[in-house]
Homo-oligomer: A and B are copies of this chain.
């Protein structure tokens, strides 16, 4: 029997994982992916040359370091990093975010390196 359509509860999805800096896809929107991630500490400076990237903080506190100044996001706050703008996320406390960007966007953008990781699909 096909599954009845159901709401995606972000808190329930966040309870399904604990690893940091690992994006989990929860939905598709056309050729975009809706992803969740838990962040703590500093990531790497990188740029997405081909796409904007949306961050929405669900809990905690995220600083998006930009070369032109920091953007600090608390719960219920979002920011779109424009394509081509170098950024480096950092979170002093564990922070849960919703990310939205085209499928295939690499988490480390142009920087590559050991922290590059494809998103996992969260059931």
Contact = CB atoms under 8 A, between A and B. Distances in A.
A6 B71 CA distance: 6
A76 interface: yes
B76 A34 contact: no
Contacts of A51: 30
Q: How large is the interface on A (under 10, 10 to 19, 20 to 34, 35 or more residues)?
A: 35 or more
Interface of A: 4-11, 26-30, 32, 34, 51-54, 58, 66, 68-69, 71-74, 76-80, 83, 100-102
A35 to B, nearest CB: 12
11 contacts: A5-B66, A6-B79, A7-B71, A10-B78, A27-B54, A29-B52, A29-B53, A29-B54, A34-B54, A34-B80, A100-B100
